Structure 1
Amino acid sequence: VKRATASSGQSVAEQETRTAMNIFRFCGDMLHLTSIMLLVFKLHRSKSCVGVSCRMQEMYALVFIFRYLDLLWSFISVYNTVMKITYITTTCYLIYLMRYKTPVCQTYERSTDSFQYEIYLLGPCVLLGLICAEEYTIPDILWSSSIWLESVSIIPQLVLLQQIREVENLTSDFVGCMGAYRAFYILNWIYRYFAEDYVNIVGWIGGLVQTGLYCDFFYYYAKSKWYGSKLVLPVAS
């Protein structure tokens, strides 16, 4: 089995970025974009960010900035560049809405959205990124760190939802799309393994961890959709 770096001299980060498009990756990208657009729509329509974790968005902003640093020196395709810029700008825009834009920011409950990722997650993820980097260059270390950071970025949102328990439809759809996006990326990796002999252990483990964190939520989300009821999470034991 070929390593992701192969003989081309490219790092894992470069090959991950330059990989050919397939239907699973495209569906994953569209689901990710849909989740962001759902959240933007919710905030603009309801003028409220109750039930939405700004701290999760802050983590994703770091993920995208770390991962897409190559925008400064590399051009892959119009699609690639547009998607990267869209992810960064829309995520920063969501943070702006929740932190500073009235009346949305007036509904943001900082005491409830209180998971301290900068203490519990950021340092360990950067350390793992340093340990697992294919090459000890800043872009590769940041790319590797972004994989680990994204794998746990949903935690502030899940902690917040567990506290409020009753979840609005658009909020649950947003989280559902985020989970589905990762599921399609797992299918993308499976396809690439058989089609290209592609191996990326760090990405695989990070993706599996992230998808695993969604499993409990997905069960209750699917159940609520099946019965046409509002999503209500159980009391944490």
Structure 2
Amino acid sequence: MRGSSRRPVAVVMAWVRRQPPKVKAFLAVVAGMAALVFIRFIVHDHDNLFVAAEAAHALGIAVLIYKLTKEKTCAGLSLKSQDLTALFLAVRLYCSFVMEYDIHTILDTATLAATLFVIYMIRFKLRSTYMLDKDNFALYYVVLPCAVLALLVHPSTSHNIVNRICWAFCVYLEAVSVLPQLRLMQNTKIVEPFTAHYVFALGVARFLSCAHWVLQVLDTRGGLLTALGYGLWPSMVLLSEIVQTFILADFCYYYVKSVFGGQLVLRLPSGVV
């Protein structure tokens, strides 16, 4: 019975795997649009999607903390991705305090504290298991472009110019903060379960956050973009959310395929990242 229930999924996965890249990209877009339509009908208050995204991120970090404290190893985890996560959370927390203090400020505080704990464990307690040679993504490839882009394209609100640039910087940096983790996994080719669960949780969080913004734009018939300001900034916010989702889409595909295939360890083919 168990094998028969998985057989249709395996057949579909095998068919998708045989398709050329353009067909796979088209199928991914169709699947994403179908998911958005489904969410739009079952979730009446789309603000809940943002809370759900925060919850998925928190769940992913909880998986990391369990791995670090119980298994006493940080193998497969990128310290650089955690550093980028802490950086954009710290900047976003600063912006929340000086611009719009709300419930998300509390959520970001808790997430930043947990991320700093993960960094502490990797950097000091479990450094002997850290894959330094595999975690070789150069951070200036993402930090500098995000800083330059923030200087050029930022909100046109009435807030202080420094605060507006910081706000833009954390939005852009969040979109690419997972790249070092993906590079590390591509270097190792094999991803152990807890790391895979963490990255998949990030993928779910990114998709829910992206769905929140897209559906809000649709519900307001574009009015939300005007409320965010003028110029390129509103479009860049939406584009950043979409980029975050697509960066992790390929990994999430292989994760789901691995889970339905009954594999505990995820093996990534070349070219995923």
Instruction: Give the residue type in structure 1 aligned to 2:224.
Output: Y
Q: Which residue of 2 aligns with 1:198?
A: 224
Which structure: greater helix fraction? 2
| Structure 2 Cα separation of the partners of residues 150 and 184 of structure 1 | 14
Task: Report the CA distance shift for 1:193/1:71 in structure 2 as closer, same or farther (over 3 A).
Answer: closer
Give the C-alpha shift of residue 236 in structure 1: 4.1
Q: Which amino acid aligns with 2:122?
A: M
Match of 1:43 in 2: 68
Structure 1 residue 66, shift from structure 2 partner: 1.4
Residues 128/226 of structure 1: CA separation in 2 closer, same or farther (3 Å cut)? same
Q: CA deviation at 1:75?
A: 6.5
Check the 8 A contact 2:46/2:212 in 1, yes or no: no
Q: Does 1:163 align with 2:187?
A: yes
Give the whole-Å Cα distance in 1 for the aligned partners of 2:164 and 2:61: 26
Is 1:213 paired with 2:247?
yes
- Contact residue 144 and residue 202 of structure 1 kept, 8 A: no
Q: Which has the higher contact order (CA 8 A, sep 6+)?
A: 1
User: Is the partner of 1:100 in helix, strand or coil?
Assistant: helix
Counterpart residue type for residue 62 of structure 2: M
For 1:125, the aligned partner's letter is: C
1:109 is displaced (CA, Å) by 2.0
Aligned residue number for residue 115 of structure 2: 91
| Counterpart for residue 40 of structure 2 | none
The verdict on how the C-alpha distance between 1:190 and 1:74 changes in structure 2, with shifts beyond 3 A counting, is closer
State the TM-score, normalized to the length of structure 1: 0.84
Q: How does 1:1-237 map to 2 (within 5 A)?
A: 22-73=47-98, 76-77=101-102, 79-101=103-125, 104-117=126-139, 119-135=140-156, 137-196=161-220, 197-199=223-225, 200-229=234-263, 230-236=265-271
CA displacement, residues 74-124 of structure 1 (integer Å, 9 cap, x when unaligned) = 6634x33321211211111111110012xx22111212111111x211111
Name the SS for the 2:55 alignment partner: helix
Shift of 1:162: 0.7
Q: Which has the larger radius of gyration?
A: 2
- Count of equivalent residues: 214
- Residue type at the aligned position of 2:253: Y
RMSD: 1.9
Segments of structure 1 that go 5 or more residues without pairing to the other structure are 1-19
Q: Is the 8 A contact 2:46 2:216 kept in 1?
A: no
C-alpha change, 1:189 and 1:75, in structure 2 (3 Å) is closer
Secondary structure at the aligned position of 1:133 is classed as: coil
**Aligned amino acid, residue 198 of structure 1:** L
Q: What do residues 166-205 of structure 1 show as CA deviations (whole Å, max 9, x unaligned)?
A: 1111110100010110100111112211333312322211
Q: Whole-Å Cα distance in 2 between the matches of residues 21 and 216 of structure 1?
A: 25
Matched to 1:231, the amino acid is L
- When residues 71 and 183 of structure 1 are mapped into structure 2, their CA distance, relative to the original with a 3 A threshold, is closer
**Could you say if the C-alpha distance between residues 116 and 204 of structure 1 is closer, same or farther in structure 2, counting changes exceeding 3 Å?**
same
Shift of 1:23: 2.1
**C-alpha contact (below 8 Å) 1:28/1:181 kept by paired residues:** yes
> 1:66, 1:146 within 8 Å by CA — same for their partners in 2?
yes
Instruction: Write the deviation string for residues 52-92 of structure 1: whole angstroms up to 9, x where unpaired.
Output: 00100000111111112135446634x33321211211111
**Residues 147, 202 of structure 1: 8 Å contact kept:** no
